[in-house]
Amino acid sequence: MSAVAAPARPSAPATGSPHLSFGHLLRSEWIKFWSVRSSIWTLGVLFVVMIGLVALIAGLTANDLSGTEDSGPVALLPFLPATQLAQLAVVVLGVLTITGEYTTGMIRSSLTAAPRRTPVYWSKMVVLGGSILVISAVAVAISAFISNAFLDPKGFGLDLGDTETVRVLVGNVLYITTIALFAFALGALLKHSAAAMATILGLLLIIENVLNAIPWEPLHYVAPLLPGSAGSRITQSDAVVQTINDQWDVGPNLSAWQGYGVLVAWVVLIIAIAAFRLKRKDA
Q: Tell which residue, 260, 91, 97, has the closest CA to residue 180.
A: 91
Report CA 227 to chain centroid distance, whole Å.
Answer: 12
d(CA 154, CA 149): 10
Across 90-104, 116-130, 214-228, least confident range: 214-228
Q: Report residue 248's pLDDT band, with 50, 70 and 90 as the boundaries.
A: low
The domain spans of the chain are 23-280
Cα Rg for the chain, rounded, in angstroms?
24
pLDDT at site 283: 57
- Model confidence at 176: pLDDT above 70: yes
68 against 279, higher pLDDT: 279
d(CA 20, CA 30): 14
pLDDT at site 51: 95
Q: Report residue 195's pLDDT band, with 50, 70 and 90 as the boundaries.
A: very high
Q: What count of other Cβ atoms lies within 10 Å of the Cβ of residue 28?
A: 18
DSSP state of 11: P
**How far apart are the two ends of the chain, measured CA to CA in Å?**
65
- Amino acid 95 reads V
Mean pLDDT of the chain: 84
d(CA 257, CA 231): 8
pLDDT at site 251: 65
In the predicted model, what is the mean pLDDT of residues 63-69? 60
- Model confidence at 245: pLDDT above 60: yes
pLDDT at site 240: 78
- Amino acid 193 reads S
pTM: 0.86
Across 61-65, 138-142, 164-168, 213-217, least confident range: 213-217
Asked whether 50 and 139 are in contact (CB, 8 A), the reply is yes
Give 151-175 pLDDT, tens digit per residue. Answer: 888 777 788 888 989 999 999 999 9
- Model confidence at 274: pLDDT above 70: yes
pLDDT at site 170: 96
Across 39-53, 58-72, 156-170, 263-277, least confident range: 58-72
Q: What count of other Cβ atoms lies within 10 Å of the Cβ of residue 45?
A: 17
pLDDT at site 269: 96
Asked whether 20 and 109 are in contact (CB, 8 A), the reply is no
pLDDT at site 282: 62
Which residues are within 8 A (CB) of 223 and not within 5 positions of it... i.e. 6 or more apart?
208, 211, 212, 229, 248, 251
| Phi, psi of 164, rounded to the nearest 5 degrees | -65, -40
Across 8-17, 134-143, 164-173, 202-211, least confident range: 8-17
Cα-based angle 108, 109, 112 (whole degrees, multiple of 5):
85
- Model confidence at 180: pLDDT above 70: yes
DSSP string over 130-180: HHHHHHHHHHHHHHHHHHHHHHGGGT----TTSHHHHHHHHHHHHHHHHHH
Q: Tell which residue, 130, 129, 100, has the closest CA to residue 197.
A: 100
pLDDT at site 221: 79
Asked whether 48 and 54 are in contact (CB, 8 A), the reply is no
